[in-house]
Amino acid sequence: MANFVSWNCLGIKNKFSDLKDIINSHQPSIIALQETYLKAEDTISLQHYNLLHKHGIGHRISGGVALLISNSFPSAPLTLNTSLQAIAVQIHTHSLITVCSLYLPPNTPVDQVCLNNLVSQLPEPFIILGDMNGHSPLWGNPDTNTRGLQIEKLLNDHNLCLLNNDESTYFHEPTRTFHSVDLAICTPSLLPYLSLQVDNDLHNSDHFPLIISDCRRQNSIIHSVLRYNLKTANWCKFSSIVKITKEMVSNNSIDTAVENVTAVLIAAADCSIPKSSNTVKKQRKVWWNSDCREAKKKQRKAWTRFCRSPTTANLICYKQAKAISRRIQRRSKRESWEKYISSISSTISSKKLWERVKKTCGIFRSSNIRILYSNGIPVTSLQDIANCIASELAHTTKSNNYSVSFLHHKFISEKQKLNFNSSPYAPYNRDFTFFELKRCLSEIHKSSPGPDNISYNMMQHLSEESLHNLLFLYNRIWHERSFPSSWQQAIIIPVLKPGKEPSNPCNYRPIALTNCMCKILEKMANKRLVYYLETNGLLSPFQSGFRQGRSTIDNLLALETEIRNAFIRRQHAVAIFFDIEKAYDRAWRYGILRDLYNCNLRGNLPIFIQNFLKLRQFRVRIGNQLSDYFVQEEGVPQGSVLSVTLFTLKLNGILKQLPPSVKGFLYVDDLYISCTGDNMAFIERQLQLAVNKIHQWSAFNGFTFSTAKTSCVHFCRKRSLHPEPEIKLEGQLINVVSEVKFLGVIFDKKLTFHPHVLRLRKKLDKALNILKVLSNTSWGASRTSLLRVYRASILTKMDYGCVIYGSARQSVLKKLDPIHHSALRLCSGAFHTSPVESLYVECCEPSLDYRRTVLAIHFYFKILSHPGHPFHTHKQSQLILRLQRARPSVIPSFFTRVSKFLNSFNLDSVQVVPTIKYHLTPWNSHGLNFLKPLTKLIRPLKFISNSLQTIVKFTKTSFLFLQMAQNAHLAP
């Protein structure tokens, strides 16, 4: 495998096909490019490679350098302080090496000091690759120019080595001559291992690529993990092979039984499910066909003929063959593109639709891992990088991260043992039923397998007998109160946090993969836990996170309503938005168990959770490289089903600390508190009291607030001067900001939502490009498909939070209308002069203003349908209503706005039937009865008639569902 390639591409955007040919031929770890002709804002997407580039100097697009870095090796970009067109990166192949791409324009003077300064900034060992436009007999030129003398001096002054031989690297077409201007320079320590070869194909440039090979055995490449290709699985064969017997799960210990079941599933999967390849795939050119291949072959033949005999006639033949090849390739690209886009029709599934949309836009996952720095020391090998990230994640969960006062409190509290052994006959401790297992298997979504490599799909294709025996194993774990040791392990995939420095191991978010068999048992236990907590009213009504019938809009609505009412009363409103540091990783486990104990939970359920939290271990995976095992000392396990419920329960008591004048809402760990009033001093005192109590509560529960990320906003429309609130958290003043992003919506101090709409408009402009790519009046995707893409990628973004930001002035909201209208024109193929009303009718889409009104009414009815919602019984006070009538210029709150909407639609007296949540206990549900008496019926009138007869016949059945045959098509 060639380690490095250097090539003056003469414009990278039109050389993608040639670039893929070079990659497929040599599989380089780095490609150094010169004369890329890229702008500063340009980005290039190439699978398995990351682009690092520096644009040329001046307003005219010229020059520029870039490095294409393979994802297979750890790397880190270097910051160079130079005026030269140079860019550098450190990469770990066999060892850590610095690679620099350099372009020295031929007609631009270069100061020797700049070259010396560049070399001094490159950590050794290094290699400099580039087009330097220097002539010297040292690298095969008959003459010497000023640039060549500068390079010779650079080699001598810094004791550098030249890898070039006498091969020519540049073809000057006007004079039909060959020169050597592309150089490879390295430090002496690399010279024995590197060799240079010049490619014999120009690849439609005027420079030949330089191929630099390393004779040393390279570091292991990051291959992807071998996975089962579930799309090509033979599930009938799998189901017939898998036999989970009663003896297998009953005559052994829990750990042995789990190992036996795992072995049976894996053995069956090996026989019936192919595995994907873990090698690096070649760069595909889907448009490449036999015509392109034949034209390219003729071009190479013409070039070979010219190289042997560089006459004018042969040059003309070569240029003709090159032009023909380029024309054929362009035609093939255009036809392939049109065919691919036109295949996006209304008949394809949503999954295939989005796969094609992503491929069309060049969107694919990147798994690049950068070189890390731990205490200033570079960490370069894959194993060391994995261990470094794992060590940092493990350190986050250690008890010594807690404050000294909390450690003392923790030590004393944990001396008191929690006895969960009483009340073993509570209904939530009963055996899991077969219906519970089947329901959980039907509700699961696609998920990556855990350490045992067993996926949900495998479990869904088990026979009835195997499922019953698996359920027997689950109930053994439940009653014997022994948690399998293999289920206490997880694999962590580190993902860089957005906008963070990749060289810092603290900046990676852990994505945990746990065993799917364990997660099924967790789901069944979690349903029982949630049922118990909800039906007994143990969760705060002001906690909206991951609860049935609740969403982030509830918290946004509460904040917007309080601010609007304060504006109507001409008062101040101050809100504080808290950020909890490492909330999941530092949740106090004993505190969670104590909360379960205080909820009067006893028996199998809390003991299962207790065993679930014990002895958690994880390994970090980079590609197919695993770190050592590390212990998660505290916190709830990442990626587990139970974790969210347990964390929510632990944070449940924080809202009880607030004084009556301060309101607060939670969405899992996103907490805000607010207070309104005429007197800022009163508001400060009340909020300071609330902050002190919250801090005191957190100090006794192991949570720490980030003072840097916690912010305060003073909402006020008064024009008179007034002081900003001064509130302290842990002795530090909380930052007072003019706007804050809370749960995806930007709240500014005047509550105009103008910053939010501007940010949303910018995001939608980028999303609109997808429609521009897919739409064409003659060959683009179908209208139905385009509307599906629009509704999913653009309209959903506008819908989120529109119940809240829809209260903005019309002058602000109208900034979103051009996006809506442009998208509808693209989807329908309408002219730019088409009236917007006709677009609404043609696309069956209402105006945004009408849509926001309808969504607001829907949300209002949703609130009324949930009796436990904090706004279920909300009614505006008479004072607010009188003030609103007296001050019509002030924007009203949500409920006042909705009452006007309901009045305009004659929906004032609509009675909303309450939703009955948790009507069925998880442990007493015996299944659902499906009746299929209508499989051969087609006409709807006859279908309705027979349906009514069937319902009357089975009136004593508790639950009745009628199911039509899948191939039955209704006809009039």
| CATH classification at residue 27 | 3.60.10.10
430 shares its domain with 530: yes
Same domain assignment for residues 336 and 255? no
Is the same domain home to 427 and 479? yes
Task: Say which residues have a Cβ less than 8 Å from residue 831's Cβ, sequence separation at least 6.
Answer: 825
Q: Is the pLDDT of residue 339 over 90?
A: no
**Which stretches does DSSP call E strand in 826-957?**
929-931
User: Is residue 60 located within the same domain as residue 139?
Assistant: yes
List Cα–Cα distances, 247 to 256, 459, 963, in angstroms. 12, 19, 38
Please give the Cα distance from 273 to 234 (Å, whole number): 6
Is 952 part of any domain?
Answer: no
pLDDT in tens, 231-242: 889 999 999 999
Dist. CA 370–CA 385, nearest whole Å: 9
Return the closest-CA partner of residue 91 out of 219, 225, 283: 219
Tell me the sheet residues that pair with 234.
none
User: Same structural domain for residues 266 and 397?
Assistant: no
The verdict on residue 173 lying in a domain is: yes
Helix (H, G, I), strand (E, B) or coil at 869: coil
Helix 604-613 with 641-650: angle, nearest 10 deg = 100
SS (H, E, C) 811-860: HHHHHHHHHHHHHHHHHHCCCCCCCHHHHHHHHCCCCHHHHHHHHHHHHH
Does residue 641 belong to any structural domain of this protein?
A: no
Q: Does a structural domain hold residue 155? A: yes
Does 147 lie in the same domain as 65? Answer: yes
- Kindly tell me the sign of the dihedral angle through the C-alpha atoms of 940, 945, 949, 951: positive
pLDDT tens string 868-894: 899 988 887 888 888 888 888 899 999
Residues 153 and 205 in one domain: yes
Residue-wise pLDDT tens digits, 409-420? 999 999 999 999
Question: In this structure, which long-range contacts are made by residues 910-919, counting pairs with CB atoms below 8 Å and at least 24 apart in sequence?
Answer: 910/861, 912/861, 912/864, 912/865, 913/865, 914/864, 914/865, 914/866, 914/867, 915/549, 915/865, 915/866, 917/534, 917/548, 917/549, 917/866, 917/868, 918/531, 918/534, 918/535, 918/548
Token code pair at residue 266: 């894996």
CA distances from 98 to 67, 78, 102, 292, 366 (A): 12, 9, 13, 38, 22
What pLDDT score was predicted for residue 948? 60
Residues across the chain: 972
The whole-angstrom separation of Cα 725 and Cα 691 is: 13
- Do 510 and 484 belong to one domain? yes
For the question of whether the overall pTM of this predicted structure is more than 0.75, the answer is yes
> 624 and 573: one domain?
no
Q: What is the pLDDT at residue 694?
A: 95
Q: At CA 300, angle to CA 297 and CA 304, rounded to 5? A: 140
Would residue 558 count as lying in a domain? no
φ, ψ (nearest 5 deg) of residue 510: -80, 125
H or E, element range at 489: strand 489-496
Residues 317 and 179 in one domain: no
Is residue 956 scored above 80 in pLDDT?
A: no
Q: At CB < 8 A and 24+ separation, what contacts does 468-471 make?
A: 468/434, 469/244, 469/245, 469/246, 469/248, 469/249, 470/244, 470/249, 470/261, 470/437, 470/517, 471/432, 471/434, 471/437
pLDDT tens by residue, 10-60: 999 888 889 989 998 888 999 999 999 988 888 888 888 889 999 877 666
In angstroms, the Cα distances linking 663 to 683, 698, 870 are 12, 18, 12
Q: Where are the beta strands (DSSP E) in 547-597?
A: 572-578
Q: Which backbone phi and psi does 966 adopt, to 5 degrees?
A: -65, -25
How far is residue 72 from each of residues 222, 383, 607, measured CA to CA in Å?
A: 5, 13, 44
Asked whether the beta carbons of 459 and 437 are under 8 A apart, the reply is no
Is 80 exceeded by the pLDDT of residue 945? no
pLDDT score of 908? 82
Q: CA 748: distance to chain centroid?
A: 27
The CA–CA distances, whole Å, from 684 to 159, 384, 572, 738 equal 68, 50, 11, 17
Whether 77 has a pLDDT exceeding 50, the answer reads yes
Q: What is the pLDDT of residues 650-661, one digit of tens each?
A: 999 999 999 999
Indicate whether 957 pLDDT > 50: no
Q: What is the mean pLDDT of residues 318-334?
A: 90
In the listed set 689, 721, 748, which residue is the last one of a domain according to the structure? 748
Residue 632 neighbours by CB under 8 Å, 6+ apart: 393, 394, 397, 585, 616, 617, 618
Q: What angle do CA 776, 779, 780 make, to 5 degrees?
A: 50
- The better pLDDT of the pair 918, 378 is held by 378
Backbone angles phi, psi at 818, to 5 degrees: -60, -35
In a domain, 348, yes or no: no
pLDDT band at 971 (very low <50, low <70, confident <90, very high): very low
* Residues spanned by the domain of 705: 567-580+650-748
Query: Measuring CA to CA, which residue among 183, 51, 166 is closest to residue 129?
Result: 183
Amino acid found at 609: I
Question: Which pLDDT belongs to residue 566?
Answer: 94
Residue 61 sits in the same domain as residue 125? yes
Which amino acid makes up residue 820? H
426's CB contacts (< 8 A; 6+ apart) are 602, 603, 605
Domain annotation covers residue 120: yes
**951 in any annotated domain:** no
Cα 507 to chain center, whole Å? 15
pLDDT of residue 965: 38
pLDDT score at 910: 85
| Burial of residue 447 (number of CB atoms within 10 Å: 0-12, 13-18, 19+) | middle
- Which of 847, 878, 905 is the C-terminal boundary of a domain? 905
Reported as a single tens digit per residue, the pLDDT across 494-540 is: 988 888 888 899 999 999 999 999 999 999 999 999 999 999 999 99
By mean pLDDT, which of 163-172, 277-286, 437-446, 936-945 is the weakest? 936-945
Is 841's pLDDT higher than 60?
Answer: yes
Where b means 16+ CB within 10 Å and e means fewer, 39-64 reads eeebebebbbbbbbbbbbeeeeeebb
509 three-state secondary structure: strand
546 conformational bin, left if phi > 0, alpha if psi -120 to 50, beta if neither: left
From 861, 889, 905, the end of a domain falls on 905
Within 10 angstroms of residue 297's Cβ, the number of other Cβ atoms is 12
Mean pLDDT of 678-701: 94
Domains of the chain: total: 6
Q: What is the mean pLDDT of the chain?
A: 88
Shared-domain flag, residues 19 and 123: yes
Cα–Cα distance between 183 and 147 in angstroms, integer? Answer: 12
The pLDDT of residue 944 is 59
| Percent residues over pLDDT 90 in the chain | 61
